[in-house]
Amino acid sequence: MIESLPAPPGAPLPPDADSVAMPLIRVAGGQTQRIEDAVALEAPLTLMLNGREWVTLLATPSHLDELVLGFLAAEGVVQHAGEVSRIVWDPEDGRAWIRCPALTPAARDALLVGRRTLSACCGRGHPGVVFASDTGVPPVPTGPGLWPLGHLARWVGALDRAARAFQDTGGLHTVALAPHPDSAPGDFLVVRSDVGRHNALDKVAGWRLLHGAPPPGALAIVFSGRVSAEVVVKAARLGAALVVSHAAPTTLGLTMADALHITVVAFVRGERLSVYTHADRLGLGGVAPAPH
């Protein structure tokens, strides 16, 4: 079904794998080690429907024919695969050109009501949030000083204990705002849950607007979900210096965190954790940058 345009020299074709190796600092048992580990791929894929830009997905760019056809069906554009005559993938600019000959002009105009961006999961993203340069969000400042490494596992444990609704239903994401120890006492300023991880992040952002909080660079987000690109953008808008999660990051999330000066700590399991970006905030002697 899917075709690939000839790739220019050096341009990769769509990957068969769902992950790539990226650098990190592994902390376990009080020891640190620089290693590479697999990170889930997240990349923008712009769908061009009958010659016009329709929507940008943030997704794992494998099995693209299935992804495109499934999305077309979910949006009510097609009911059968035969209604799509051609899908051409351009690996240079991340676009898939889709031809649906039976799509009427009225239906096409109804669908193409302006550019949309859809996140990898949990609902619709904000238009234009694809790269850090699109957001207009400045990099997060360094902040008041080093963040104690020992706080991270304690925060994740405290988040699990606070998330009673998550434990009861298994269907909610939970987010907490933690202040830098030099800014305010205690573990969390606020804890919020929602069925959508982005909604939970929006709730703590709204709380900060209503109540005030430490300045940019003096906040950490402790999070139950995957650290994707849109999560990182929301963290930057909050001025959060750290995003701490027991879940995994994505490649685009790490690239944006590197550009926006956010420290990403993932896979927190007791004293074992992985630091992917801006490890200097934790006193680990350098940065494990995401590739560009």
Measured distance CA(24)–CA(169) in Å, rounded:
33
Segments in the chain forming alpha helices (H):
64-74, 105-111, 132-135, 150-162, 164-169, 197-211, 229-238, 251-259
pLDDT of residue 115: 58
Q: How confident is the model at residue 268 (pLDDT cuts 50, 70, 90)?
A: very high
User: If we measure between CA atoms, which residue out of 188, 14, 175 comes closest to residue 93?
Assistant: 14
Higher pLDDT, 59 or 97: 97
Higher pLDDT, 75 or 5: 75
Largest CA distance in the chain: 63
What b/e sequence results for 41-55 when a residue is b if at least 16 CB atoms lie within 10 Å of its CB, and e otherwise? bbbbbbbbbeeeebb
* CATH 3.40.140.10 domain position(s) in the chain: 150-282
User: Residue 42 pLDDT > 90, yes or no?
Assistant: no
Q: Residue 229 in contact with residue 256, Cβ under 8 Å?
A: yes
For residue range 179-220, list pLDDT tens digits in order.
Answer: 998 766 668 998 888 777 777 888 888 888 778 778 889 999
User: What is the rounded average pLDDT of the residues 46-67?
Assistant: 83
Q: Which CATH number fits domain 43-130: 1.20.1250.20, 3.40.50.1000, 3.10.20.10, 2.40.50.140?
A: 3.10.20.10
pLDDT of residue 113: 60
User: Residue 230 pLDDT > 60, yes or no?
Assistant: yes
2 token code pair: 């899917």
Residue 247 CB-half CA count within 13 A: 19
pLDDT of residue 75: 78
> Of 40-49, 132-141, 142-151, which range is least confident?
132-141
Q: Residue 169 in contact with residue 149, Cβ under 8 Å?
A: no
> Of 7-21, 56-70, 96-110, 185-199, which range is least confident?
7-21
> Of 15-19, 130-134, 236-240, 254-258, which range is least confident?
130-134
User: What is the rounded average pLDDT of the residues 128-146?
Assistant: 68
* CATH 3.10.20.10 domain position(s) in the chain: 43-130
User: Residue 3 pLDDT > 70, yes or no?
Assistant: no
CATH architecture, range 150-282: 3-Layer(aba) Sandwich (3.40)
The amino acid occupying position 195 is: V
User: Residue 90 pLDDT > 50, yes or no?
Assistant: yes
User: Residue 24 pLDDT > 90, yes or no?
Assistant: yes
For residue range 151-189, list pLDDT tens digits in order.
Answer: 898 999 888 887 764 555 556 778 899 999 876 666 899
pLDDT of residue 69: 84
Which residues are 99's β-sheet partners? 86
Q: Report the SS3 class of residue 167.
A: helix
User: Residue 41 pLDDT > 60, yes or no?
Assistant: yes
List residues with catalytic annotation.
Answer: 122
The average confidence (pLDDT) of the chain is 79
DSSP state of 279: G
pLDDT of residue 285: 66
User: Residue 144 pLDDT > 90, yes or no?
Assistant: no
Measured distance CA(178)–CA(160) in Å, rounded:
14
DSSP string covering 168-196: HHS--EEEEEEE-TTT-SSS-SEEEEESS
